[in-house]
A and B are shown apart, each in its own frame.
Chain A
Amino acid sequence: MVFAPHTPAEIETMLKTIGITSIETLFETIPVRANDECFAALPTGQPEMEVAAECRRLAGRNRGVHHYRSFLGAGAYEHFIPAAVDHILRRGEFFTAYTPYQAEASQGTLQAIYEYQSLICALTGLDVTNASLYDGASAAAEAVILAVRHTGRTRVALARGLHPAYRRVIETYTRHLNIQLVELPFAQGVTDSEALGQIGLEHDLAAIVVSQPNAFGCIEPAETVARLARDRGALGIAVVNPLSLGVLKPPGEWEADIAVGDGQPMGIPLSFGGPYVGFMSVRKSLARRLPGRLVGRTLDRKGRTGFVLTLQTREQHIRRERATSNICTNQALCALAVTVYLSLVGKEGLRKVALLNLDRAHYLYGRLQALDGISAAWEQPFFNEFVLRLPTSAETVVRQMKKRGFLAGWPLSRWSTDWDERLLLVCATETKSQRDCDDYVQALADVLKVKQTSCL
């Protein structure tokens, strides 16, 4: 397929205008050319209908969360996405526009980002949200770097309940920057707030990173952790599931200084891991340290309200090696999905979606608890995920549940062999009906050959 539009006659005319006789002349300055053999691995171009058929064939053989009934979460979540979200994303004026450097020709994108920033502020209870980052994990890493630069200190404490992949991304981002990562004490699925006082974080602490809910679904003593950070002159960094903020106390109210997370649960399909969208909200005093783009409302020369990219002197295209981050793009289209999603569900809707997550997860949890030999790994309040202790290997159970049509969850031992192989992280979002939950319980009872002793 060739999208270039020129006819041979046009090409002749154009070459004449340039003052050359062949296209080949344009490439004469390249000293090392590649022949067809170099490109032997490339396919032959195919007509659109054949490519479409091939992609349909491939897609049809994968088995995703619509093929199974999925109770798998662990950092990416199946949620209801209203149809209107994708219809807006498919507006060519949005998805084929560039970064809004020319503000006059980009008011649509700019206002949408301003609205996104406002909506995320409403969720996090903090003052300033940037135009978005790649994903939740890189947003967490950027937050750590921000805190280190802001405080001039080099130690960062991570709660053990932080998603292990987020921890690894933070490690990658901080490896070359003379930052020491330490771990907070952990007990019963959450940060051990009683042991916090004794851990020798008196000196040089830049930030504490705590996840709410944490990677095991548990509600952390986040307020206590944030207070510890404050007492040490460090920043409190909250990693939050934004959807949970429909019911959970916003980080701004529990004294976090920075909130980051992944917007995927709010209108973005799973897509095998991306593209998602990272968000970052901060207190006003940290605004000038934000990484990435930021949209501001201002006036034009006739006094009309409009929107521009602002505080650009923080950014790489101006500040180069002294920029707050190397990030160039945001995830504008994914941020737009979040904006449309939150506008559709609205004030009551978000609360209700979050409540439905609590409802499904707790209903399922209650019924599973009633199965012989199954117990909760930890007795903690949770949002839409919880860890079960099974009587046998979680891997085996997951395999057998799949034969019954379920993605049963995430064995914690896949994150680290330090975890007991019987621990299984189970997630139930609003997408699961009572029937789905009941069938899951029945299937698990069958797999484990245990009886259901009672009903809720």
Chain B
Amino acid sequence: MELIFEKSAAGRSGVTLPDPIVADANPSRWLPAEALRAQPARLPELTELDVVRHFTRLSQQNFSVDTHFYPLGSCTMKYNPRLCEDVARLDGFASLHPLEDADDTQEILAVMAALEDWLGAICGMDAFTLNPAAGAQGEFCGMSIIQAYHVHREGKSRPTVLVPESAHGTNPASAVLSGMTVETIRSLADGTTDLEDLERHLDNQVAGMMLTNPNTVGVFETRIVEIAEKVHSVGGQMYYDGANLNAIAGLARPGDMGFDVVHLNLHKTFSTPHGGGGPGSGPVGVKSHLEPFLPVPCLVRSADGRLFLTEDRPLSIGRLSAFQGNVGVAIRAYAYILLHGLKGLRRNSEMAVLNANYLRARLRDHFEIPFPQLCMHEFVISLNEIAKKTGVKAGDFAKRLLDYGFHAPTVYFPMIVAECMLIEPTETETRATLDAFAEALIGVKGEAETDPEKVKGAPGTMPVARLDEYRAATQLDVSYFG
């Protein structure tokens, strides 16, 4: 589709603006010449209709949860109630300046306080902060808290973080940003952490261990209590990556399993659609011994019950954003939890796990399922055998599924399984959709065996197919202006 710049015509505008107050208003009246722009910025010139039509047409080139099944493992692409969108836009929330007095903002602070309490209950944590802007910033926050705790207790930092080889890429990257080096712990054949390998890595240099549970192959770490005890025995802290909380919310709590810190992805488990890649929100919860290190500002209640934000936390890791995080996302999560209550949250988790196991069962006679046990909210299939036999790879399956009207599952993650797909159907999809998806995947397998070139050339129904990524990286074209 043409770029917005290519639709521009000199002299058009999509807005009407008031006149200046001052009669001969001109930038050079108020600013020195050397501070001024010589030419206007090269923005396009369009009418409102031009703009609306352009972006509406662009939107129609997307798959989305509203239009397509999106079984993207590790991403929890479920349907989110429309009410959550509406309430975040209420003027009494959306028009609050972040630096307004507590007197004028008691009710938004009450929303934030309630959400902190509820997330604390859901996770079994003693205190929460809503400051982190996304999961990865939550990880950085959590790991910084752990490091600050060690420095406070021992006078020096601990250099090592343990991360299972199946972990999300953000885990090691966040640990490094927090000044630590990463040691990788092996997984057993059933996808869970190898405790013997863990033992080999444990000493008083270990700051902590980062773990997702259920882990990234969709399997619950059944020996989690034992793992936590071992890490704690050397003074290490347990970090819970909440990416997969959608499997257990309302049923089990990281805090009860021995975790000391958690981050959540509100945009996965608690509403807020993904928006094409954000915004998200990554609240962090801690056990009481880590509370003094939470980032500022902290939301506190005075003796008379008034809520206010304070920076008076001498042991805090500091600030993560200019203000108090993505409050607009927190409002959506508040409404989502209020709509569901405990029973609804628990039911959602149950249905998410039911859907995953049902889909897994529909596929088990047709595909290699590397981990034998029942799965949680997502599961892995391996296309390694098929790839060897037919030359059709997991990435090709992904492209061909688009022709069947399904967004592809996550491919090539977790990295411990060759030619894998990570499939997360979520709780909001019907059995009919799951059946149709299973049939599509089985159909593509049949095509791989009979007409592999067709699959390797897919997709055939999209506006583009198989974009040249090498060219994109080597002949870098990332701006219309060159």
Count of A residues near B, CB < 8 Å?
203
Chain B residues with CB under 8 A of A333: 275-276, 278-279
Cα(A352)–Cα(B26), bound, Å: 10
Question: When the two chains form their complex, are residues B124 and A34 in contact, meaning their CB atoms are under 8 A apart?
Answer: yes
Q: Residue of A at shortest CB range from B375?
A: A26
Chain A residues with CB under 8 A of B208: none
Question: When the two chains form their complex, are residues B348 and A4 in contact, meaning their CB atoms are under 8 A apart?
Answer: yes
**Given A108-B62, A320-B173, does the pair A410, B133 have CB atoms closer than 8 Å?**
no
**Given A29-B374, A74-B99, A349-B13, does the pair A62, B93 have CB atoms closer than 8 Å?**
yes
Question: When the two chains form their complex, are residues B1 and A111 in contact, meaning their CB atoms are under 8 A apart?
Answer: yes
Chain A residues with CB under 8 A of B147: 176
Question: When the two chains form their complex, are residues A108 and B77 in contact, meaning their CB atoms are under 8 A apart?
Answer: no
Cα(A433)–Cα(B20), bound, Å: 9
Interface residue A430 (Cβ < 8 Å from any Cβ of B):
yes
The residue that A300 contacts in the complex, of B277, B343, B464, with Cβ under 8 A, is B464
Interface string of B95-130 (1 = CB under 8 A from A): 111111100111110110000011011101000000
A163 CB → nearest B CB, Å: 7
Question: When the two chains form their complex, are residues B177 and A326 in contact, meaning their CB atoms are under 8 A apart?
Answer: yes
Question: When the two chains form their complex, are residues A14 and B319 in contact, meaning their CB atoms are under 8 A apart?
Answer: no
The residue that A275 contacts in the complex, of B30, B56, B105, B329, with Cβ under 8 A, is B329
Question: When the two chains form their complex, are residues A42 and B60 in contact, meaning their CB atoms are under 8 A apart?
Answer: no
Question: When the two chains form their complex, are residues B37 and A250 in contact, meaning their CB atoms are under 8 A apart?
Answer: yes
For A39, A100, A311, the residue with the greatest tally of chain B CB atoms inside 10 Å of its CB is A39
Chain A residues with CB under 8 A of B476: 128, 284, 287, 296, 310-311
Which of B197-205, B352-360, B446-454 lies at the interface?
B352-360
* Residues of chain A in range 1-41 having any CB-CB distance to chain B below 8 Å: 1-6, 10-11, 13-15, 17-20, 23, 25-27, 29-34, 36, 38-41
Interface string of A327-363 (1 = CB under 8 A from B): 1111111101001101111111111111110111011
Question: When the two chains form their complex, are residues B48 and A262 in contact, meaning their CB atoms are under 8 A apart?
Answer: no
* Residues of chain A in range 102-121 having any CB-CB distance to chain B below 8 Å: 102-109, 111-115, 117-119, 121
Question: When the two chains form their complex, are residues A346 and B43 in contact, meaning their CB atoms are under 8 A apart?
Answer: yes
Cα(A42)–Cα(B338), bound, Å: 8
Question: When the two chains form their complex, are residues B51 and A343 in contact, meaning their CB atoms are under 8 A apart?
Answer: yes
Chain A residues with CB under 8 A of B15: 80, 82, 344-346, 349
Cα(A349)–Cα(B12), bound, Å: 10
Interface string of B20-40 (1 = CB under 8 A from A): 111001110111101111101
Cα(A97)–Cα(B256), bound, Å: 34
B10 CB → nearest A CB, Å: 8
Chain A residues with CB under 8 A of B353: 23, 26-27
**Given A31-B225, A172-B317, A355-B26, does the pair A70, B92 have CB atoms closer than 8 Å?**
no
Question: When the two chains form their complex, are residues A14 and B90 in contact, meaning their CB atoms are under 8 A apart?
Answer: no
Interface string of B418-438 (1 = CB under 8 A from A): 000000000111110000000
The residue that B14 contacts in the complex, of A15, A52, A344, with Cβ under 8 A, is A344
Chain B residues with CB under 8 A of A273: 98, 321-327
**Given A72-B99, A122-B41, A310-B478, does the pair A62, B92 have CB atoms closer than 8 Å?**
yes
For A96, A132, A320, the residue with the greatest tally of chain B CB atoms inside 10 Å of its CB is A96
Question: When the two chains form their complex, are residues A343 and B31 in contact, meaning their CB atoms are under 8 A apart?
Answer: no
Chain B residues with CB under 8 A of A112: 55, 58, 276
**Given A41-B117, A346-B43, does the pair A249, B14 have CB atoms closer than 8 Å?**
no
Question: When the two chains form their complex, are residues B463 and A306 in contact, meaning their CB atoms are under 8 A apart?
Answer: yes
Interface residue A455 (Cβ < 8 Å from any Cβ of B):
no
**Given A42-B121, A175-B144, A176-B144, does the pair A344, B51 have CB atoms closer than 8 Å?**
yes
Question: When the two chains form their complex, are residues B320 and A138 in contact, meaning their CB atoms are under 8 A apart?
Answer: yes
* Residues of chain A in range 272-326 having any CB-CB distance to chain B below 8 Å: 272-275, 277, 284, 287, 293-302, 304-308, 310-311, 313, 315-323, 325-326
**Given A55-B335, A333-B275, A362-B30, does the pair A91, B222 have CB atoms closer than 8 Å?**
no
**Given A329-B278, A359-B20, does the pair A58, B108 have CB atoms closer than 8 Å?**
yes
Question: When the two chains form their complex, are residues A381 and B274 in contact, meaning their CB atoms are under 8 A apart?
Answer: no
A179 CB → nearest B CB, Å: 11
The residue that A272 contacts in the complex, of B40, B81, B105, B469, with Cβ under 8 A, is B105
The residue that A326 contacts in the complex, of B136, B252, B374, with Cβ under 8 A, is B136
Q: Residue of A at shortest CB range from B133?
A: A134
Question: When the two chains form their complex, are residues B321 and A137 in contact, meaning their CB atoms are under 8 A apart?
Answer: yes
Interface residue A447 (Cβ < 8 Å from any Cβ of B):
no
Question: When the two chains form their complex, are residues A350 and B277 in contact, meaning their CB atoms are under 8 A apart?
Answer: no
Question: When the two chains form their complex, are residues B21 and A332 in contact, meaning their CB atoms are under 8 A apart?
Answer: no
Which of B63-71, B284-292, B380-388 lies at the interface?
B63-71
The residue that A32 contacts in the complex, of B170, B225, B339, B374, with Cβ under 8 A, is B225
Question: When the two chains form their complex, are residues B66 and A96 in contact, meaning their CB atoms are under 8 A apart?
Answer: yes
B294 CB → nearest A CB, Å: 12
Cα(A308)–Cα(B465), bound, Å: 11
Chain B residues with CB under 8 A of A323: 169, 173, 176
Interface residue A98 (Cβ < 8 Å from any Cβ of B):
yes
Chain A residues with CB under 8 A of B279: 134, 274-275, 277, 329, 331-334
For B14, B173, B276, the residue with the greatest tally of chain A CB atoms inside 10 Å of its CB is B276
**Given A61-B92, A318-B169, does the pair A96, B14 have CB atoms closer than 8 Å?**
no
Interface residue A203 (Cβ < 8 Å from any Cβ of B):
no
Chain A residues with CB under 8 A of B173: 316, 319-321, 323, 325-326
Q: Residue of A at shortest CB range from B219?
A: A29
Interface string of A439-455 (1 = CB under 8 A from B): 00000000000000000
Chain B residues with CB under 8 A of A20: 374
**Given A1-B81, A42-B341, A176-B157, does the pair A272, B327 have CB atoms closer than 8 Å?**
yes
Question: When the two chains form their complex, are residues A331 and B41 in contact, meaning their CB atoms are under 8 A apart?
Answer: no
Question: When the two chains form their complex, are residues B34 and A249 in contact, meaning their CB atoms are under 8 A apart?
Answer: yes
The residue that B22 contacts in the complex, of A10, A92, A122, A363, with Cβ under 8 A, is A363
Chain A residues with CB under 8 A of B137: 134, 138, 327
Cα(A172)–Cα(B31), bound, Å: 35
* Residues of chain B in range 197-248 having any CB-CB distance to chain A below 8 Å: 220, 222-225, 248
Chain B residues with CB under 8 A of A402: 101
Chain A residues with CB under 8 A of B278: 132, 275, 329-334
Chain B residues with CB under 8 A of A328: 134-136, 169-170
Q: Residue of A at shortest CB range from B118?
A: A42
Interface residue B300 (Cβ < 8 Å from any Cβ of A):
no
The residue that B13 contacts in the complex, of A88, A90, A166, A345, with Cβ under 8 A, is A345
Which of A43-51, A152-160, A227-235, A371-379 lies at the interface?
A43-51
What are 5 A-B pairs with beta-carbon distances under 8 A? A92-B67, A262-B322, A271-B96, A273-B326, A294-B478
Q: A97-B64, A343-B43 are in contact. List 10 more A-B contacts (CB 8 A).
A: A48-B81, A72-B99, A119-B43, A122-B481, A129-B479, A245-B37, A273-B321, A305-B464, A346-B8, A355-B26
